[in-house]
Amino acid sequence: MAETPRRLPSYSLRADRAGTISMPPSFPFELTSEWAWGGSSGAGVRVCILDSGVDADHPRVGQIERSVAVVADDEGIARLVDDTEGDVFGHGTACAGIIRSLAPDCTIASARVLGPANRGSGGSLLAGLHWAIEAGYQLINMSLSTTKRELLALLHELTDDAYFRRTTVVASAHNMEVESYPWRFSSVISVGSHEDTDPLRFYYNPEPPVEFYARGLDVEVAWRGGGSLHTSGNSFATAHMSGICALILAKHPGLTPFELKSVLRLTAANARKEP
């Protein structure tokens, strides 16, 4: 009886390819914030903000690489156009200003998926996220979420696709105790708020679904029209975490979302160090 040729299952590693997947140098014995982002300005990292648009003329925001808006055609189908209106509410400008304050040399783009009431359709959210992933942004800031369960399958598919393409989605937990997404997906970095005032201080939560806490209470933020205001919310904690992620990725290019999340876990303010 003839032997059946040996065949590797799909997604397996052939012996002759083992040498092609060498790993970068290991992390140091003890990860510190100095190692993780010390001296970094975010240069070279591209961040896309899915929100209400961004006021590119605001002095605390600076240059915007590109602004697009998701609009619905006559048949209700979402499509992307160049955004000529900017921020129609103020929320996106606030997030952009926070990210710029932490990572001044990162590149910021805007995908407007929310309207003047700071609300948007599920189709707009999916289309904006799809565009940002296809455009190859390393970080996508989503200071928003949806409770629409009919969107979950497609939204989950998109966040997983981002993860496998080495795009990190940083998503805001809902401000109320409701079940919303995509922050509850394990492929994203989920963020809630803490009360400290240090913009670089964050905590790891050992009891998810929310994974990290960052500054989000009584924050002075940029607002549309060149103004500012004091406000609170997980949205702004998420922007702080995106800024920190930009600093880390700029100093350590090529980190996967898994590795980036590991660095955050090990450099969190409550990370216990061995004596």
pLDDT digits (tens, 9 = 90+) for 17-45: 888 887 766 777 788 999 999 999 999 99
Domains identified in the chain and CATH numbers: 32-267 (3.40.50.200)
Helices (H), 47-121: 91-102
Largest pairwise CA distance in the chain: 81
Using DSSP, state whether 60 is helix, strand or coil: coil
- Residue 230 carries which side chain, given as an amino acid letter? H
pTM summary value: 0.93
Q: Could you tell me the two tokens for 35?
A: 């190692």
Q: Could you tell me the two tokens for 202?
A: 């964050």
pLDDT 10s digits, 102-125: 999 999 999 999 999 999 888 999
**pLDDT at site 99:** 98
Per the CB < 8 A criterion, the answer to whether 221 and 236 are in contact is yes
CA distance 248 to 82: 30
pLDDT 10s digits, 167-217: 999 999 999 999 999 999 999 999 999 999 999 999 999 999 999 999 999
Closest of 219, 223, 242, 237 to residue 93, by C-alpha: 223
